[in-house]
Amino acid sequence: MTATTTLPWKPPRSLRQRMDVATLLFLGDSLAGVPFALGLAMAVHFLLQREWVGVLAGAVLVAVSGPLRAVLQWAAATAGVRAAAAAKAEARARLYPRLLATGWTAGRLAGEEAATAVADVEMLEGLAARYRPLRTAAVIAPLIVAAAVALASPVSALILLATLLPFGLGMALAGTAARAAAERQLAGAALLTGLFVDRVRALPMILHFDAAERVARQLESSTRTLAERTLATLRIAFVSGGVIEFFAALSVAMVAVYCGFQLLGILPFRVPEQLSLAEAFFALALAGEFYLPIRRLAAAYHDRQLGEAAEAAIAARLEAPALASPPPAPPGPFPGLLADGLEVEPAPGRRIGPVSLRVPAAGLVALTGPTGSGKSSLLLALAGLLPPAAGRLALGEAPWPEGGLLGRAAWAGQAVQLFPGTLLENIAAARPDASPAEVRAAAAAAGLGPLLAARGESLAIDARGSGLSGGERRRIGLARALLADRPILLLDEPTADLDPEAAAAVIARLKAEAGRRAVVVATHDPALVAVADAEVQLP
């Protein structure tokens, strides 16, 4: 692997250098095979002549070149792993901002995005660590071995080179189908991941509507499809491996037959050379080295199939349209927003709306309606995370900016994302530059004061929020929204899972916040609706 590459970006120079180092080390291993074979030939030749100094010299060559090859192989593997780590880091640096900048991608499940961000990036490891460094070594090393063999037996070298022609044709035929099969396998894995994550998130609803059997059949069908695609990919890998093993065995056998018949003088045709035992032994010892780099490449062939398919998936995601970074907030007070005949399509075939509403620069607007009416989807559209399907959005009297309210709105959804760390660190994620006093004030305003008093500010929580009630998780989300201190709050069921006293405290806080900024809540809580300045009912 050198400058030519199919990475979906131009690799940095440091990454190309790491790959080049791995390639050179693999080539060094092949070169070290020459003195190893020479030492064997010398030892055999001088042993028959009873010249012990020559035997000792051959044994020294074998003793030195053997461990040297082991060191070179270890160093090549280490350099390959470092190249893979650099390749994955480069992919993440380019991919993650794109995934994080677009909270919604039409036609893709959350699990599919996760598969791209995690599984596809990890599949680059085998490609960068093994296949690409071995690819160049597999082209150059056999020529080096053939040149060394030609010094002792030009005919044996021609035999080795002749087997490369049909071998190349067989590998080309196997490789034609490999890319498509690997891409189908990767797409199947991403879809299965997406379905699984999506169905787990909707598990209460699935159980409520007694749809468990239907969902299980859907997952079973996707699993079977993935298994079939995986087996198809493995069949191609086995075929390519079989082709290599066949020609490797054929080349060694042909050289062995030629050298044996030549030494015995029973060749049925004339050849322009006469081999000694040492020359024949040297050629035969190197014949096995001729296909060794190619056999190593075959062992990494499946890495190539999956890695290049992952590259294509990452490249497609990098090239997909993305929401631009939100423009800076305009000077002056927040002008409010207007939705006129707004319709959103959270899933293909399911449309919500039309809905018309006006959100003033300050005030509390409640979105109400039965479960499934689309309150959460409407909040997503206002936040800029779900593109409108129809209707008009405006920011005051100005056109709706690109990126919607990203960077202007603070969001607290029903599912609060937590990460390992302390409680205050989880709240401070909304504004990392906030002072400890500001974080404590936001926690107290969200009703987390009793929790902090009982369990301390250094309370450690994990990504699952173990030890926290549903209401406490929601209050962490609310505390983040308050700490962000943005001109509009978008809150999804902020009082759900709270006891009456805690809910009353949150309602009082939201009413106070509505005196200085816009607050839009999706809620079923009559007490929260009662204090709202406006109510918008969704059918």
> Is the same domain home to 88 and 149?
yes
> Is the same domain home to 408 and 268?
no
Is the model's pLDDT at 525 over the cut of 50?
A: yes
Do 82 and 74 meet the contact criterion of CB atoms below 8 Å apart? Answer: no
> Is the same domain home to 292 and 407?
no
pLDDT number for residue 202: 64
> Is the same domain home to 257 and 406?
no
Please list the alpha-helical segments (H only) found in 336-491.
375-383, 423-428, 436-445, 449-455, 470-484
Give domain status of residue 6, yes or no: no
Give the model's confidence band at 177: pLDDT under 50 very low, under 70 low, under 90 confident, else very high: low
Amino acid occupying residue 272 = P
> Is the same domain home to 273 and 133?
yes
> Is the same domain home to 191 and 53?
yes
Place of tokens 């090549």: 76
The DSSP result for 70-109, as a single string, is HHHHHHHHHHHHHHHHHHHHHHHHHHHHHHHH-S--TT--
Q: How far is residue 4's CA from residue 7's CA, in Å, rounded to a whole number?
A: 9
Number of structural domains, the chain? 2
Instruction: Locate 104 and state its tokens.
Output: 């919604």
Give domain status of residue 5, yes or no: no
Give domain status of residue 325, yes or no: no
Q: Which helix (H) or strand (E) holds 340?
A: strand 337-347
pLDDT number for residue 280: 84
Q: Which helix (H) or strand (E) holds 178?
A: helix 164-201
Summarize the confidence of residues 2-6 as an average pLDDT: 38
Instruction: Locate 319 and state its tokens.
Output: 């090239």
Summarize the confidence of residues 356-376 as an average pLDDT: 83
Return the ∠ at Cα 150 (arms to 144 and 154), rounded to 5°. Answer: 145
Summarize the confidence of residues 313-326 as an average pLDDT: 62
> Is the same domain home to 530 and 427?
yes
Summarize the confidence of residues 232-253 as an average pLDDT: 73
Do 121 and 95 meet the contact criterion of CB atoms below 8 Å apart? Answer: yes
Is the model's pLDDT at 311 over the cut of 80?
A: no
Give the model's confidence band at 107: pLDDT under 50 very low, under 70 low, under 90 confident, else very high: very low
Question: Dihedral of CA 8/9/10/14: which sign?
Answer: negative
CATH code for the domain of 509 = 3.40.50.300
> Is the same domain home to 231 and 349?
no
> Is the same domain home to 238 and 294?
yes
pTM exceeding 0.75: no
Question: Dihedral of CA 308/310/295/137: which sign?
Answer: positive
Is the model's pLDDT at 15 over the cut of 60?
A: no
Summarize the confidence of residues 416-445 as an average pLDDT: 82
Give domain status of residue 364, yes or no: yes
**Which of 84-98, 171-185, 199-213, 284-298 ranks highest by mean pLDDT?**
284-298
Q: How far is residue 413's CA from residue 171's CA, in Å, rounded to a whole number?
A: 53
Is the model's pLDDT at 256 over the cut of 80?
A: yes
> Is the same domain home to 311 and 396?
no
Do 72 and 24 meet the contact criterion of CB atoms below 8 Å apart? Answer: no
Summarize the confidence of residues 385-410 as an average pLDDT: 74
pLDDT number for residue 142: 85
Domain range for 351: 337-537
Q: Which residues contact 266 (CB under 8 A, 6 or more apart)?
A: none
pLDDT in tens, 179-202: 566 667 666 666 676 667 666 666
Question: Dihedral of CA 153/154/160/162: which sign?
Answer: negative
Give domain status of residue 36, yes or no: yes
pLDDT number for residue 387: 75
Identify the CA nearest to 536 among candidates 521, 526, 525.
521
Instruction: Point out the least confidently predicted range of 73-87, 229-243, 322-336.
Output: 322-336
Summarize the confidence of residues 427-456 as an average pLDDT: 83
Summarize the confidence of residues 129-151 as an average pLDDT: 83
> Is the same domain home to 352 and 314?
no
Is the model's pLDDT at 89 over the cut of 60?
A: yes
The neighbouring-strand residues paired with 387 are none
CATH code for the domain of 57 = 1.20.1560.10
Count CA atoms closer than 13 A to 412's CA, side-chain side.
32
